[in-house]
Amino acid sequence: MTGASLHTSAPPEGQPGDGADPADPVLDALVAEVMACPDLDDRALDRLLRRHPKDGRGFYRKREILAAVRNARGRPEADDPVLAARLRTCPTRSLSGVLPVTVLTRPYPCPGRCVFCPSDVRMPKSYLRAEPGCQRAEANAFDPYLQTWARVDAYRAMGHPTDKVELIVLGGTWSHYPGPYQRWFVLRALEALDDFGRGRDRRSEARSLSGVLPAPAPLDGRSVSPGDYDRVIAGSRRPEQAAGETASWETLARAQRANESAPCRLVGLSLETRPDRIDDSEVVRLRRLGATKVQLGVQSLDAGVLHASRRGHGRRETFAAIRRLRAAGFKVHAHWMANLPGADPAGDRRDFARLFSDPRVRPDELKLYPTSLVETAELVRWHDEGRWKPYSRETLVALVADALASVPTWCRVTRVIRDIPSPDILVGSRETNLREAAERLLAERGVALREIRACEVRGTAFDPQSLRMTAERYTTSVGTEHFLGASTPAGRLAGFVRLSLPRPDARPPAGLRDELEGAAVLREVHVYGQATALGQRHPGRPQHAGLGARLVARAATVAREQGYRRLSVISALGTRPWYRTLGFEDGPLYQHRDTRG
């Protein structure tokens, strides 16, 4: 039995169990040996756990040991990074260089009428109560402060650095929520990060303001009609609660400035919306909120499939939304679905290929979702009437495999299949590891994936001096994109930048032109590998070893050689100080520097 297999699942966030019992002599003895062990690998930890069994029978969890180590040292912030890494659980969560924290907005009416979309009135539109993220959100009353604080606290208990957070806001159509609620939601999340980083716990105050009515009874997909979800949701909120969910732009701006130097910083903000909700004013609003990435529900590029699915928009709206977002520097994280009403496997293959062949699309990141039949979707009735049926398992795996194999090196596939529990899926594939099944099929064919997630350096140690610089160019709806990477001799991606060189006629959205007109735009700087705390460096890891600065300098050189005198960056709140060290100066919504340095 390995040390990893001795770890049991953690208790739900916000419940007792994250800490350690200070009066446990067996644990004290275990911790003393752990701290004294010069080379604590999994085998050594396994031996220590067996030598000091919990209650004489079981085994202590890694998070219990880590909490006790922190208590023994007296200062939680004084963690030994090597020891924390040995006791870390779920290490893949921070292997992309940042800590992803997902929070959900409260249920709210949706502008869409998609036939495939779940209508679980206990959740934001399209989400299901049994999904892990939804369970965490409901346990915290959908309050952004409570969700953020609890999630970061859970990560810290598992041994992850918590000073660089990417906040991923999911739940319905963000752009349809009231503006005051949007500002309040981001503000409260920032306040949670600030409080957590400074050792303040104000969750009891948030709980007093976050009461909700009992969850409404679920709808039945066989009888649900368009608009039923909205009608139920409209009557399920307390007026006094909604009245408190508001914040001004000035209040939000103060919190944003404070986060720049906070111990727990926001290094990315992702918001989720529909293509038909993106106009110039919405792009400016997203940027004022601090967003750096937009998850966009593309779903399909086939006009017939969009119409049959009652999506409510066409390809033109998708193309226009991506053009506006890209011109403003946002990363575009597209959602695409297979097996929608009106689709067939051959058509899906053609449609997926167009995501990357058409310069008007070409997303930076992608979620690939096969359609799942759940009981609250109108699609249930269509299935009963024979108007839609799921692909067979073999057809679906082959389709996903072909799709993954065609993704270019500059795109990252973040998810394959929704995190929907098997009991909620009425018919069709219940295979939660669909990506692994597709990758096994590709391995049998001798096909290696090229997309970013498959090529990240992750936890592999390497010599930063051995990195080789790579470059790819491709056209987009606003100009030429340069994907400038740094790879190990084995071809693992250690970091990259996305540099957009817009054409003169591809003007930024109105409201951003004073800042971005004529500038090359740095859309993303990412250094992979295990997230490393601010101010720390570790041999063999790419973070904080100067790689990001090298990549930015290279982007500035490319922009200058192509005739651009100014380089603008869509920086996140917590990355602004770093960009200042590289010569960037603050503008209203972006940071800027001369391409000559």
More confident residue, 72 or 164: 164
Q: Read off the pLDDT band of 43 (50, 70, 90).
A: confident
Which comes out higher in pLDDT, residue 404 or 10? 404
Please give the helix or strand (H or E) that residue 482 lies within, else none. strand 479-487
pLDDT of residue 65: 75
Q: Two tokens at 296? A: 């966009």
Q: How far apart are CA 458 and CA 488, in angstroms?
A: 12
pLDDT at 156: 87
Q: Is the dihedral of CA 50, 51, 57, 60 positive or negative?
A: negative
Q: What pLDDT is stored for residue 214 in this prediction?
A: 65
The whole-number average pLDDT for the span 208-233 is 78
Q: Any residues with CB less than 8 A from the CB of 373 and at least 6 apart, and which?
A: 379, 380, 383, 390, 425, 426, 427, 428
- pLDDT (0 to 100) of residue 12: 41
| Residue at token pair 């009888």 | 223
74 has pLDDT over 60: no
Q: Nearest CA to 340 among 428, 272, 419, 424?
A: 428
**Length of the chain in terms of residues written:** 597
pLDDT of 97: 67
Q: What mean pLDDT comes out for the span 86-103?
A: 72
pLDDT at 134 over 90: yes
- Report the b/e string of 561-590 with b at 16+ CB within 10 A: eeebebbbbbbbbbbbebbeebbbeeeebb
- For residues 282 and 105, give the distance between their C-alpha atoms in angstroms, rounded to a whole number: 18
* Residue-level pLDDT at 17: 41
Residue 461: the pLDDT is 77
**Domain boundaries 456-594, CATH class:** alpha beta
pLDDT tens for each residue of 570-583: 999 999 999 999 99
Q: What confidence category does residue 548 fall into, taking pLDDT thresholds of 50, 70 and 90? A: very high
Q: What is the pLDDT of residue 233?
A: 87
Higher-confidence residue: 222 or 63? 222
In terms of Cβ atoms closer than 10 Å to its own Cβ (0-12, 13-18, 19+), residue 436 is exposed
What pLDDT is stored for residue 475 in this prediction? 98
* pLDDT (average), residues 564-572: 98
With CA atoms as reference, report the closest residue to 185 among 124, 129, 233, 130.
124
Burial of 291 by CB count in 10 Å (0-12 exposed, 13-18 middle, 19+ buried)? buried
pTM recorded for the entire structure: 0.86
Q: Is the pLDDT of residue 370 over 60?
A: yes
Q: What is the mean predicted confidence (pLDDT) over 253-279?
A: 97
List beta partners, residue 520: 567
Cα distances from 144 to residues 101, 212, 243, 271, in angstroms, run 11, 14, 16, 14
Higher pLDDT, 139 or 542: 139
Helix axes 62-73, 144-157, angle to 10 degrees: 90
Written as six digits, the tokens of 529 are 């590998």
**pLDDT score of 557:** 98
Per-residue confidence (pLDDT) for residue 227, from 0 to 100: 86
Point out the least confidently predicted range of 45-54, 192-201, 482-491, 545-554. 45-54
Residue 537: band (very low, low, confident or very high) from pLDDT cuts 50, 70, 90: low
Q: Which CATH class is domain 274-455?
A: alpha beta
Rounded Cα–Cα distance for residues 70 and 78 (Å): 8
Phi/psi class of residue 220: alpha, beta or left (left: φ > 0; alpha: ψ in -120 to 50)?
beta
Mean pLDDT score, 199-219: 77
| Measured distance CA(325)–CA(476) in Å, rounded | 12
Among all chains, which residue has been given the structure tokens 């750096």?
A: 292
Of residues 72 and 107, which shows the higher confidence score? 107
Structure-block tokens of residue 558: 């490319």
- Nearest-angstrom CA–CA distance, 467 and 464: 6
* 298-352 pLDDT, tens digit each: 999 999 999 999 999 999 999 999 999 999 999 999 999 999 999 999 999 999 9
Q: What share of the chain in percent tops pLDDT 90?
A: 64
- Distance in Å from the first CA to the final CA of the chain: 55
Round the average pLDDT of the chain to a whole number and report it: 87
pLDDT at residue number 15: 40
User: What per-residue confidence (pLDDT) applies to 47?
Assistant: 80
Query: Who's near 263: CB < 8 A, 6+ residues apart?
Result: 163, 197, 198
The helix/strand/coil state of 58 is strand
Domain ranges of the chain: 4-89, 92-271, 274-455, 456-594
Q: Average pLDDT of 397-424? A: 92
pLDDT of residue 2: 32
Q: Phi and psi of 483, rounded to 5°?
A: -105, 105
Confidence (pLDDT) at 210: 64
Q: Which of 313, 393, 299 is nearest to 341 (CA)?
A: 299
